[in-house]
Amino acid sequence: MNQGERIEKGIVLRAINYQESDKILTIFTADEGKIVAKLKSCRQPKAKLKFAGQPFCFAEWTLVQKGEHCIVANALEIESFFDISLDYDKLIVASCLLEMCDYVLNPEEPSGALFVELLKCLKMLAYHTPQPQIVFCKFALDLFDLSGYKIELDRCKQCNGEFNTHIIFDYDLGGFICGMCPCSAGKEISLGALKSLNIIQNTEIERLDSIKINDINLKEISSVLAENFAFRFNKHIKSLKV
Ligand SMILES: [Zn+2]
């Protein structure tokens, strides 16, 4: 390693074209959080690091600071997660996960736990056959948890009472409340959908391909979680199609 260089393992969250043949990458690194780095000349036809300019690319990055810019000096691919791009539904969900990470991470603020969750979810999508939206729900639940917005599924967030048939997700509170409690901005969900969410919460990422949720419930909980993301982080997930 040359002087001034550092090596980081990380996943490309975003890659935008810059000038004639460069790209500006947003890389989620395991140890340093989100880093923005310039990948030079990667859009030329025979560029050695062409592969590194793609979202999802998981690589070992050699980075060097030049003035105020961080430059990619080299990249060794660990996994491309190329298989995700072969399935439209998987690609949509995986793109949502990258987008969510990009929004919640502050530059160079380490978030090792979220990095591990992302990696596990991408592996599940690339190498197994889960219902893709289950992976979205699992990742969203874990992301809220890691960000201090854990969603409790067992009791009413307001009165701590048990749920009966009338359940509402209260967006201001960021949790489920019972039908007895007042709510200003919320969405009613079915008991079946709440049970599905419980199953997802209690299943490890590596086993998400072993559970099956009906499409109606899955749609219900995906949209509640996406709305909650918008309320908590003030950002709509653009990649999402629910
Ligand atoms: Zn209540």
Quick one: pLDDT band at residue 79, thresholds 50, 70, 90? very high
Question: Is the CB of residue 157 less than 8 Å from the CB of residue 113?
Answer: no
Ligand 1 mean position, distance from CA 157 (Å)? 7
Same domain? For 130 and 47 the reply is: no
Which residue from 12, 7, 9, 15 is spatially nearest to 27, judged by alpha carbons? 12
pLDDT at 133 over 60: yes
> Residues 16-43: pLDDT tens digits?
999 999 999 999 999 999 999 999 999 9
- The pTM for the full model equals 0.94
Residues 97 and 67 grouped into a single domain = no
pLDDT over 80 (residue 2): no
Do 95 and 213 lie in one domain? The reply is yes
Ligand 1 centroid to 165 CA: how many Å?
Answer: 12
The whole-angstrom separation of Cα 176 and Cα 178 is: 7
| 103 CA to centre of ligand 1 in angstroms | 32
pLDDT digits (tens, 9 = 90+) for 92-107: 999 999 999 999 999 8
Cα 172 to ligand 1 centroid, rounded to whole Å: 14
Q: How many angstroms separate the alpha carbon of residue 177 from the centre of ligand 1?
A: 5
Ligand 1 centroid vs 173 CA: distance in angstroms? Answer: 12
**Ligand 1 centroid to 163 CA: how many Å?**
8
Cα separation of 224 and 150, whole Å?
14
In a domain, 125, yes or no: yes
CB atoms within 10 A of CB 113: 12
Residues 99, 26, single domain; the answer is no
State the Cα–Cα distance between residues 216 and 222, nearest whole angstrom. Answer: 10
Separation of CA 167 and ligand 1 centre (Å): 9
Q: Are residues 116 and 149 in the same domain?
A: yes
Same domain, 89 and 174: yes
Give the residue among 92, 117, 91 at the shortest CA–CA distance from 104.
117
Q: Is 242 a residue whose pLDDT tops 60?
A: no
